[in-house]
A = this chain, B = another copy of it.
Amino acid sequence: MKKYAQLTREELLALEEQLLAEFKEEQAKNLSLNMARGKPGKAQLELAMPMLDVLNHAADMNTILGNDTRNYGDLDGIGECRRLIAAMMEVQKDNVIVCGNSSLNIMYDTVARSMLFGVNGSTPWCKLEKVKFLCPVPGYDRHFKITEQFGIEMINIPLSETGPDMDLVEQYVNNDPAVKGIWCVPKYSNPTGISYSDETVLRFANLKPAAEDFRIYWDNAYCIHHLYDDQHDVILNILTECEKAGNPDMVYIFASTSKISFPGSGVAAIASSINNIQNILNIMTVQTIGHDKINQLRHVRFFKDIDGLNAHMKKHSDILRPKFEAVLNTLQEELGDLGIGTWIAPRGGYFITFDSMPGCAKKIVALCKELGVVLTSAGATYPYGKDPQDTNIRIAPSFPSPEEMAMASKVFVLCVKLASVQKLLGKF
């Protein structure tokens, strides 16, 4: 098949007619499929059900140190859970606070604390004229919603297959004292699936921020969320590299077991330098007496150690891989040669990113919706919901079954084709 751009007007019109006919057929199927959010599917949720058995009425509820997990205390989390999560985050136990069920909530609170109290003694951001965050794009919509809610100005930074454009990051961070942070998903990035190269991580660690209270918000959401047994992305340890570079306090790392045990009932954590951790605890001690330690203990008793976590993640990947492949195969088969879209085959994480011809993403999402396939809103992967080129679409293959995923992918490529043809015909 020829590239769409090389087709004549007549060929395009004929193609449109054919696609519209297919569109009608699909419409008649009354599908109802959701590829909008990175929600684990039912089979994945079943994997962790035995976790509910490890603590029963007769269980020993004490930590190794003898603290009763059922009572108040242990603001920073129980020791054995800090150790488990530290191993996952590739840091030491004392660098970690294990909190509640949501790393998003920890990120929110971390920014909120900075707004209200500053960072380790700096001026509270709410007292400043202007606070800016750098936002590698496309990125995670919920990061952008946080900074937007706090009135923080967001600056787009293009993300390539090796990470954010570091020339631009350095230029902003090292020169503008209003730049206080950057959102990063360094591994199996949301939504593009790429992992930061060693050079990228090193350049991050070696930033010379104009603002003393600049921090890297390193959301390592997919740290052990590989899709393939034999092809893991590996990224450099940002905490270690920051230390080496003389910037020990420059990074906050976030992670959770939301996509390991249960979304909403996992454990989430922040890791950072001992100095930062102490500063956080000094404020957090007023916010709460402590987090859910029984759930922390449940996680430790079930997963035991990092090997247990990794073995469990292999089961997840066995479920996820066919879904990702269903999408990727369909994209390759149906769109491979047409020049109307590009995508990245990720080695982990929860998303496949798709870039349409300029100006087509919104249209594609709308067409899919007409056929009963819900995608993340076009634009959501950009600050303020504004994708300047209107090209990026985030596909979340995890929730539907592989069969549903195959159906949804067919719908998706049909809509990509139709939108592209109509775009080339100047119809929108």
Contacts and interface: CB of A to CB of B under 8 A. Distances in A.
Interface of A: 37, 39-40, 42, 45, 48-50, 52-53, 55-59, 61, 68-73, 100-102, 104-105, 108-109, 112, 115-117, 124, 126-127, 142, 145-146, 148-150, 258, 262-265, 283, 286-295
A306 B404 CA distance: 42
Contacts of A40: 71
Cβ-closest 9 pairs across A and B: A265-B294, A49-B57, A105-B288, A126-B126, A45-B70, A108-B287, A72-B263, A70-B262, A149-B286
Nearest to A45: B70
B39 A71 contact: yes
A358 B139 CA distance: 62
A113 to B, nearest CB: 9
Contacts of A127: 126
Nearest to A145: B286
Q: Which of A71, A101, A283 has the most CB of B within 10 A?
A: A71
A263 B112 contact: no
A105 B49 CA distance: 29
Contacts of A39: 71-72
Contact of A287 (B104, B115, B126): B104
A323 to B, nearest CB: 16
B57 A56 contact: no
A283 B72 contact: no
Contacts of A61: 45
Contact of A286 (B72, B108, B265): B108
Contact of A262 (B112, B126, B283, B294): B294
A116 B56 CA distance: 42
Contacts of A126: 115-116, 124, 126-127
A427 B291 CA distance: 45
Nearest to A287: B108
Q: Which of A50, A112, A264 has the most CB of B within 10 A?
A: A264
A52 B55 contact: yes
A125 to B, nearest CB: 10
Contact of A52 (B59, B101, B115, B293): B59
A119 to B, nearest CB: 16
A288 B102 contact: yes
A292 B52 contact: no
